[in-house]
C-alpha cells in the first residue's frame, strides 16, 4: 500500500518511546513510525529494534540525549510508557517495593523530561502513561501511589513547559491485554470486565491512536489533560456494581 506523505501526521518528528520492547510501547513505536516519525524505541531489556535504556538511570538518559543531539539536534516527542507493577497490598508492601516501583513509574518520566526537554522546542509533545489506578483506589498500593504521583508530575510539567510551547498530557489505560495484565490472577480480569461498561478488555490498538494524536499538531492546544482509555471503567465509580445488583434484584 502506498501512503500519501501529506497525510503522515508525524513526518520528520523525532520521538522517544520508553518500555518499547513489548506491550503498549512496542505498538506505540510501530504506530508512530507509520505516521512518519523517526522513533527511538528504548527498553531496559534487550529486544530487536530497541535501544537499551533503563528509565531509572540518569547516565542512560544523559547518553541518549547526547546521541540525539549529535544525530538530530532536536527531539519532538517523548512517550514515558515504561512501567512496572507490584501486586502487594498495604499490609504486605515493603519500603523497597515502594521505592522500586516509584523509581520506574515516577522518577523515570521525570528523568526523561529533564534530559530531553533541553532538546525540545515549541510544538514538542510529551505523553505520560498513567493508569486508571491513578484515578481511583486500586489494591496494588505501590503502583497506585506511583501513578497518582505521575499525575502530579504531569500537571507540573505542563505548567512549567507550556510557556516554551511544550505540551504534556497523560493517558490512563484501563485493562489492556499485555504481558502486565497476563501476569495477573484470572479474577483480576473477570472483575475488570464486570466493572467495564463497554464489556470488553482493551488492546494496544485502543491506545495507539490517542498517543499519535497527542504527539501530533492536531492536539496543538491540548496540554495538562488526562484521558482515560478504559471502556468507561473510571467514569462510574462504584455505580456499576450498584446498578447491576439492583437490576439482578428486581
Give the residue, chosen from 21, 68, 142, 149, that forms a contact with ligand NAI under the rule CB under 6 A. 21
Instruction: Please list, in sequence order, all residues whose beta carbon lies within 8 angstroms of the beta carbon of residue 174, skipping any fewer than 6 positions away.
Output: 132, 192, 196, 201, 202, 228, 229, 230, 231, 233, 234
In the shown chain, the binding pattern of residues 130 to 149 toward ligand NAI, with x for contact by CB under 6 A and - for none, equals -x------------------
Instruction: Please list, in sequence order, all residues whose beta carbon lies within 8 angstroms of the beta carbon of residue 184, skipping any fewer than 6 positions away.
Output: 87
Query: Segment near ligand NAI (CB under 6 A), from 8-16, 17-25, 68-76, 89-97?
Result: 17-25
Query: Segment near ligand NAI (CB under 6 A), from 3-11, 18-26, 87-95, 113-121?
Result: 18-26
Phi, psi of 15, deg, nearest 5: -130, 130
* C-beta closer to ligand NAI: residue 45 or 241: 45
Question: Shortest Cβ distance from residue 4 to ligand NAI (Å)?
Answer: 30
Q: Within positions 46 to 65, which residues make up the interface with ligand NAI, using CB under 6 A? A: 54-56
Give the residue, chosen from 173, 196, 211, 223, that forms a contact with ligand NAI under the rule CB under 6 A. 173
Question: Shortest Cβ distance from residue 55 to ligand NAI (Å)?
Answer: 4
Half-sphere exposure of 28 (CA within 13 A, CB side): 33
Q: Within positions 81 to 110, which residues make up the interface with ligand NAI, using CB under 6 A? A: 81-84, 104
Instruction: Please list, in sequence order, all residues whose beta carbon lies within 8 angstroms of the beta carbon of residue 35, skipping any fewer than 6 positions away.
Output: 8, 9, 10, 11, 212, 216
Question: Shortest Cβ distance from residue 210 to ligand NAI (Å)?
Answer: 12
Strand-pairing partners, residue 128, are 80, 170
Query: Segment near ligand NAI (CB under 6 A), from 7-15, 68-76, 174-182, 238-246?
Result: 174-182
Alpha-helix residue ranges (DSSP H) falling in the chain: 23-34, 58-71, 95-102, 108-116, 141-161, 179-182, 186-194, 204-215, 239-249
* C-beta closer to ligand NAI: residue 124 or 129: 129
Counting every residue written for the chain, the total comes to 250
Does the annotation mark 139 as catalytic? Answer: no
Question: Shortest Cβ distance from residue 238 to ligand NAI (Å)?
Answer: 19
Instruction: Please list, in sequence order, all residues whose beta carbon lies within 8 angstroms of the beta carbon of residue 19, skipping any fewer than 6 positions away.
Output: 25, 42, 43, 44, 55, 81, 82, 83
Kindly list the catalytic residues. 143
Interface residues toward ligand NAI, by CB under 6 A: 18-19, 21-25, 43-45, 54-56, 81-84, 104, 129, 131, 173, 175-176, 178-181
Amino acid at each position: 500500500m502506498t501512503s500519501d506523505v501529506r497525510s503522515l501526521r508525524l513526518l520528520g518528528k523525532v520521538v522517544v518511546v520508553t518500555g518499547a520492547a513489548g506491550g503498549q510501547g512496542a505498538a506505540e513505536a510501530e504506530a508512530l513510525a507509520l505516521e512518519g516519525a523517526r522513533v527511538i524505541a528504548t527498553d531496559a531489556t534487550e529486544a530487536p529494534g530497541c535501544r537499551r535504556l533503563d528509565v531509572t538511570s540518569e547516565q542512560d538518559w544523559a547518553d541518549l540525549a547526547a546521541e540525539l543531539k549529535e544525530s538530530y539536534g532536536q527531539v519532538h516527542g517523548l512517550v514515558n510508557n515504561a512501567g512496572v507493577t507490584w501486586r502487594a497490598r498495604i499490609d504486605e508492601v515493603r519500603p523497597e517495593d515502594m521505592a522500586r516501583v516509584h523509581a520506574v513509574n515516577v522518577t523515570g518520566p521525570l528523568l526523561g523530561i529533564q534530559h530531553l526537554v533541553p532538546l525540545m522546542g515549541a510544538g514538542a509533545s510529551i505523553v505520560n502513561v498513567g493508569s486508571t489506578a491513578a484515578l481511583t483506589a486500586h489494591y496494588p498500593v505501590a503502583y497506585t501511589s506511583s501513578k497518582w504521583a505521575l499525575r502530579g508530575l504531569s500537571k507540573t510539567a505542563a505548567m512549567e513547559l507550556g510557556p516554551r510551547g511544550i505540551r504534556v498530557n497523560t493517558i490512563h489505560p484501563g485493562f489492556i491485554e499485555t504481558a502486565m495484565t497476563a501476569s495477573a490472577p484470572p479474577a483480576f480480569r473477570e472483575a475488570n470486565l464486570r466493572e467495564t461498561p463497554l464489556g470488553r478488555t482493551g488492546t494496544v490498538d485502543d491506545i495507539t491512536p490517542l498517543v499519535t494524536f497527542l504527539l501530533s499538531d492536531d492536539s496543538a492546544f491540548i496540554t495538562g489533560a488526562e484521558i482515560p482509555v478504559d471502556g468507561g471503567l473510571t467514569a462510574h465509580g462504584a455505580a456499576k456494581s450498584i446498578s447491576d445488583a439492583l437490576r439482578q434484584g428486581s
